[in-house]
C-alpha cells in the first residue's frame, strides 16, 4: 500500500559532527521500503563526506534552523513537491528502527487529515525521553501516542501538501518556536498533528540553554509567534502566562536580562506577516489539550 508514497529527508549540519552525520545517514539508508531521498544542508559550513546518492547544499552563511530547513525543502522542488513526505532530522540523531519510514507512510495514507508526525526522542544509552520532548502539557507518559498541537523540530515528518498550503518555516525566527509557528498554521488550515511514541529518534540528552542565544531567542520568538498567529484578544494572555512561568522558573540574573531583552525585541522588530488563527482553531487547540494561552 505504501510503495507509491515518496519520502525525502532534510538534514541540517554545521559540519562539526561528521561521525554522527554518517551514522544518521546509515540509519536512513537501512529503512524498509522504497529508498529515502536525502539532502544534507551545510548551514554556513562545508558538508562532510557523504555516501553516494546523498545530495548536498552548502550555504555561504548560517541561515538559522528554519532558514536551512527551508533550503532543504526547496531542494526537493518548489515547496518540496517532488516527494510526498519530508523527514526533518537532527544531524546528531539516529533512527532507532528500520521501520520508521514505513510507519510514516502507513500513517499518512491511513489518515488523509494527518499533516505532521512528531517522533519520540530518546537517549541512546538510557532510552529516557525528556519531558520537554513530549509535545503536550500532559507529558508524564512519553510512551502514549496522541494528537498534539506542535511537534519536535529535529525529529518529525511533514506531508508536503501542508507546506504547499501554508508555507514553510519562518526564516526570521532563526532558532526557537519555528515548529509551533508552522504547527499553528497547519492546524488553522484543518490539518492534524500526531505524536508517535513508536517512531523513535535516538538523540543524546541535552539542555537547550547550552546555546548562548537561547534566552533572548526564546523570548523574542514567543512574542513574534503571538503577534503572527493569535487573535488580538489572546496575545496579552498568552504572553502574560509565559512571563509568569519564566519568573517562576527563577532563571539566573544574566538569563533573565537576556530574556527581557528578547521580549522587548519581539515587540519592536518586524515579525513577518500576521495571519491570526480562526476562533474555531482556538477551540480546536483547547480540545486537544493546549489552549493558545500557554
Domain boundary, last residue among 206, 241, 268: 206
pLDDT at 38: 98
How far, CA to CA in Å, does 122 sit from each of 93, 201, 251, 255, 269?
10, 6, 26, 27, 36
Q: How far apart are CA 53 and CA 62, in angstroms?
A: 24
| Domain contains 291 | no
- Domain containing 185 equals 2-206
Q: Are residues 16 and 117 in the same domain?
A: yes
Mean pLDDT for all residues in the chain: 95
Who wins on pLDDT, 78 or 1? 78
pLDDT category of residue 106 using cuts at 50, 70 and 90: very high
pLDDT at 209: 55
Q: What angle do CA 94, 99, 101 make, to 5 degrees?
A: 75
pLDDT at 3: 54
Q: How far apart are CA 97 and CA 33, in angstroms?
A: 13
pLDDT at 15: 86
Lowest mean pLDDT among 24-38, 151-165, 206-220, 260-274: 206-220
pLDDT at 86: 98
Report the 10 Å Cβ neighbour count for 141: 10
Q: How many domains does the chain have?
A: 2
Tell me whether residue 74 is exposed, middle or buried, using C-beta atoms within 10 angstroms of its C-beta: 0 to 12, 13 to 18, 19 or more. middle
| Domain contains 26 | yes
Q: What is the pLDDT of residues 193-231, one digit of tens each?
A: 999 999 999 999 877 655 558 999 999 999 999 999 999
Q: What is the pLDDT of residues 30-84, one digit of tens each?
A: 999 999 999 999 999 999 999 999 999 999 999 999 999 999 999 999 999 999 9
Q: Are residues 57 and 194 in the same domain?
A: yes
pLDDT at 2: 46
Q: Are residues 232 and 191 in the same domain?
A: no
Q: Are residues 118 and 243 in the same domain?
A: no
pLDDT at 257: 95
pLDDT at 1: 38
pLDDT at 158: 98
**Average pLDDT rounded to a whole number, residues 250-279:** 96
**Taking the alpha carbons of 9, 12, 18, 20 in that order, is the dihedral positive or negative?**
negative
Q: Are residues 154 and 229 in the same domain?
A: no
Amino acid at each position: 500500500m505504501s510503495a507509491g508514497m515518496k519520502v525525502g529527508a532534510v538534514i541540517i549540519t554545521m559540519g562539526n559532527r561528521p561521525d554522527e552525520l554518517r551514522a544518521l545517514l546509515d540509519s536512513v539508508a537501512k529503512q524498509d521500503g522504497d529508498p529515502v531521498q536525502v539532502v544534507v544542508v551545510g548551514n554556513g559550513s562545508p558538508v562532510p563526506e557523504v555516501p553516494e546518492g546523498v545530495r548536498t547544499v552548502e550555504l555561504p552563511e548560517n541561515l538559522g534552523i528554519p532558514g536551512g530547513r527551508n533550503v532543504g525543502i526547496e531542494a526537493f522542488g518548489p515547496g518540496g513537491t517532488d516527494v510526498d513526505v519530508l523527514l526533518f532530522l537532527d544531524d546528531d540523531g539516529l533512527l532507532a528502527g528500520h521501520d520508521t519510514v514505513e510507519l510514516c507512510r502507513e500513517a499518512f495514507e491511513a489518515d488523509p487529515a494527518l499533516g505532521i508526525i512528531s517522533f519520540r526522542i530518546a537517549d541512546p544509552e538510557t532510552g529516557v525521553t525528556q519531558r520537554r520532548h513530549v509535545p503536550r502539557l500532559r507529558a508524564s507518559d512519553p510512551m502514549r501516542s496522541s494528537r498534539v498541537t506542535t511537534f519536535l523540530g529535529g525529529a518529525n515528518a511533514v506531508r508536503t501538501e501542508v507546506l504547499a498550503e501554508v508555507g514553510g518555516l519562518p526564516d526570521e525566527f532563526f532558532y526557537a518556536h519555528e515548529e509551533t509557528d508552522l504547527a499553528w498554521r497547519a492546524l488553522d488550515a484543518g490539518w492534524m498533528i500526531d505524536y508517535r511514541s513508536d517512531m523513535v529518534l535516538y538523540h543524546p540528552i541535552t539542555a537547550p540553554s547550552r546555546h548562548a542565544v537561547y534566552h533572548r531567542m526564546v523570548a523574542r520568538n514567543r512574542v513574534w509567534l503571538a503577534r503572527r498567529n493569535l487573535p488580538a484578544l489572546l496575545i496579552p494572555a498568552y504572553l502574560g502566562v509565559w512571563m509568569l512561568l519564566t519568573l517562576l522558573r527563577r532563571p539566573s540574573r544574566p538569563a533573565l536580562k537576556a530574556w527581557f531583552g528578547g521580549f522587548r525585541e519581539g515587540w519592536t522588530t518586524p515579525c513577518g506577516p500576521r495571519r491570526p488563527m480562526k476562533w474555531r482553531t482556538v477551540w480546536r487547540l483547547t480540545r486537544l489539550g493546549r489552549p493558545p494561552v500557554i
